């Protein structure tokens, strides 16, 4: 079946994927080499299972790698908006990773923020009359809510990615990449202009539901590599892996590709 009939689940997508990868092969090569290095480095993490800082940092590093891989899989298939959305997810993961790796005390605040999110979810589902929640409503008891509140305690810790990014020196990524790609996450008007076609006078003449083969993905692929580099540098700071020289080599390659882009 064609892309017109099956969209991005069509087997025809493989041909578009090959074309996109060929167009930006050097950039895909960098991301894939760096990803391979990160995947191999994860085996060097010696995590004490009762150390929340080490445990969460390791888990977030794995999630960051998976997030970036997901973004690359989307981009190479011409799913531009979805790839950018995934890079924004990866950046938020990076900010939390950096914050935890930097501060042992933040581990407790991180857990409490998670419980506050859980409390909001439980209360919302419990109060919503939609019958879709009927099967779980009986489990959303006063006792469960009390238990979550006990975990949270008196101190209120709010999710504030912008502040966390500033705390760890990543505010430039927050004010740039995060805000830019948030337009895709929130389906803003600028995120949907790729789905229609216009003539020279700006009149809408049709819709485009296929791969975005005309898009230049170099900036997104460079961002994917940058997120992995920064993330692994934060992991190195906590676990003392002695990989600064390796990361510097990757950084130089990233910088060279970035300069060739301009």
The answer as to whether 136 is a domain residue is no
Tens-binned pLDDT, residue by residue, of the chain (262 aa): 588 899 999 999 999 999 999 999 999 999 999 999 999 999 999 999 899 999 999 999 999 999 999 999 999 999 999 999 999 999 999 999 999 999 999 999 999 999 999 999 999 999 999 999 999 988 999 999 999 999 898 777 788 999 999 999 999 999 999 999 999 999 998 888 888 888 888 788 888 888 988 789 999 999 999 999 999 999 999 999 999 999 999 999 999 998 886 6
The answer as to whether 129 is a domain residue is no
Q: Calculate the CA dihedral of residues 120, 122, 127, 132 and round it to 10 degrees.
A: 120
Q: What's the number of domains the chain is made of?
A: 1
The answer as to whether 161 is a domain residue is no
Which pair of structure tokens corresponds to residue 193?
A: 């202009």
Q: Given the DSSP bridges, would you call strands 204-207 and 196-198 parallel, antiparallel or unpaired?
A: antiparallel
Is the pTM higher than 0.75? The answer reads yes
What is the CB neighbour count within 10 angstroms for residue 49?
A: 7
State residue 129 phi and psi, 5-degree precision: -80, -5
The answer as to whether 132 is a domain residue is no
The answer as to whether 115 is a domain residue is no
- 3-state SS class at 122: helix
The answer as to whether 153 is a domain residue is no
3-state helix, strand, coil in the chain (%, to 5): 75, 5, 25
- What separation in angstroms does the CA of 216 have from each of 20, 146, 193, 213, 260? 9, 51, 16, 8, 14
State residue 91 phi and psi, 5-degree precision: -65, -40
The answer as to whether 119 is a domain residue is no
Whole-angstrom Cα distance, residue 145 to residue 73? 39
Contact 53, 235 (CB under 8 A): no
What is the CB neighbour count within 10 angstroms for residue 61?
A: 25
Whole-angstrom Cα distance, residue 197 to residue 143? 55
Contact 220, 84 (CB under 8 A): yes
Length of the chain: 262
Domain of 90 in residue numbering reads as: 7-103+168-261
The answer as to whether 137 is a domain residue is no
């Amino acid at each position: 079946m064609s892309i017109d009939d099956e969209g991005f689940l069509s087997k025809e997508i493989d041909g578009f994927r090959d074309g996109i990868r060929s167009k930006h092969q050097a950039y895909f090569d960098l991301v894939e080499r760096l990803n391979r290095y990160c995947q191999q480095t994860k085996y060097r993490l010696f995590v004490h299972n009762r150390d929340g800082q080490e445990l969460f940092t390791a888990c977030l590093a794995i999630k960051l790698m998976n997030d970036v891989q997901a973004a690359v899989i989307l981009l190479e298939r011409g799913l531009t908006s979805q790839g950018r959305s995934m890079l924004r997810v990866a950046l938020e993961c990076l900010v939390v990773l950096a914050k935890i790796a930097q501060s042992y005390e933040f581990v407790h605040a991180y857990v409490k923020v998670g419980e506050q999110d859980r409390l909001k979810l439980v209360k919302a589902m419990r109060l919503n009359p939609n019958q879709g929640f009927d099967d779980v409503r009986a489990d959303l008891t006063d006792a469960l809510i009390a238990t979550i509140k006990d975990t949270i305690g008196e101190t209120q810790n709010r999710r504030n990615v912008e502040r966390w990014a500033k705390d760890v020196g990543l505010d430039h990524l927050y004010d740039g990449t995060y805000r830019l790609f948030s337009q895709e996450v929130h389906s803003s008007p600028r995120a949907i202009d790729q789905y229609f076609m216009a003539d020279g006078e700006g009149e809408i003449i049709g819709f485009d539901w296929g791969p975005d083969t005309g898009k230049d993905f170099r900036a997104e692929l460079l961002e994917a590599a940058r997120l992995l580099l920064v993330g692994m540098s934060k992991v190195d700071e906590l676990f003392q892996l002695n990989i600064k020289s390796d990361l510097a080599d990757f950084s130089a390659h990233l910088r060279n590709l970035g300069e060739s882009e301009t």
